[in-house]
Structure 1
């Protein structure tokens, strides 16, 4: 039987570990209580997410950009038995393949030029016993997808440049705003990895499909930004709310946050009118630029080969929402080559 001193020592060690994770930023801030909604469909999704949180199964969260995928991932972690352990998040589209590989799996000293002499632990090691959140998983390079698949299958990793195997106990939550099934059909995403990730699935609805939540979120945001900037509380009369609810919100909650911050900063004595709100809203282009890649006759083939390649790459990049990774995959070149073409 453990003595009181032994129990106190264990609790002290656990507290130091939790403090270390907090200092490193390896913790989840959000909980399900932070999901503000009156939408019945989203409430059902929250209820399902709470059930999923009680398991260690791999999960895939689907949704447009700005719908709150990381908020759900953090909430799931904090509702799970792993809540006292690390929560590690990384955006897979933010780093080139080799750098992302070293971040995920770590490396030994001297593994490559510029590597630390003492080596580095990867995020999977840091997330041991906790949760790792792989955002924008659809933008991960095919070669790196193979390594991730092996980790999911064998529950172990190997640092770059090392022959040693390191067992890891990590719950993986991935997220994407792309259709991975279609990406698999196009050869951009491994189908076997898709099935490994798609054990449990949550699909978050866009803000335009839950108009009632615009009211809830808008009122909460004006209070938050009012306190942040020391402004007089802003009233949102019904004519203003009508304008906000009618907006399509292509950027979802992220766009709503931006608009409400503008409204708070531009308000006078807490008063805002519908016309001012119209000025604050992001308007889609009335006449979008022509798509040269869609019409070969309209595409400009004048100039040097380099300039033609640059125009073609720019057109594809625009079609892919300025996402370098997706544009590079579509052109069947790597990201560095695409960036070089765009700089020509």
Structure 2
């Protein structure tokens, strides 16, 4: 078991805390992710938002700490005309204009067909895409719908949108040509999933990943918390194939068993190589967090705190509400810091690896 002191905090607001940059993190609905606000090619800003209230802030790290470059309080008016008035609203970062920078925001409302894409013009956000009937033929009519940005053509840009509907086998991948989205892959509702992964569980989750370590998020990780199931699929020619597969039930990955319904996973840059080619798996409420690195066809842990564990870098991961994501804290092109936060408590820590 790895020592939790392998990481140290560079920012820490305990439980209870005051949040970060003026954002209080006092609602259980709060969500956060890394974003390229200034089109620098670096995921070094933090978006925090509160679905259902119109609240959205974007923070940057200044000389004297974190400060807002955009702030709409609670209640607020949302961002770029998107009102953020539904508890179901979700936001993600996206490369809309094929620039190689995740500097646009996709705002969508599962179950309604609503999806907007926002561009930042000198601190003012405006819609470059606005639709109430879905996108590219995908209707967004299920509250289960989820979306992520993906590098379908291995060009080094996350300029395709993947949309999926857990429990139905539905997954679509959309290309963007001057604001017109079309499907390059489509498995309707019901569908057969992708590369043998059936997407038949409501618990299924997916994200883009750099399996080859080539700086491109051109693989997809699909996993089923509570079952040990995790697949990594890659586009090979015109078809998708699994490069890693642990079926249902499975044994997880790299020693992490994925046997809890609470398990979560995301891509991370553990070694500061400017590539999101490691995996973080964690179990909120138990102190469990592992970081896995590929070793040939298998994965091995670089960091492991089992169940129960002590968390990481002093952050105990003892709340079921805990969430985590990767951030380019130093603005050097390496998303190699971990942000851990506890919605509803004001708690947020940023951790860096001890060297």
Q: Same fold (TM over 0.5)?
A: no
Larger radius of gyration: 1
Return the structure number with greater helix share: 1
**TM-score, normalisation: structure 1:** 0.25
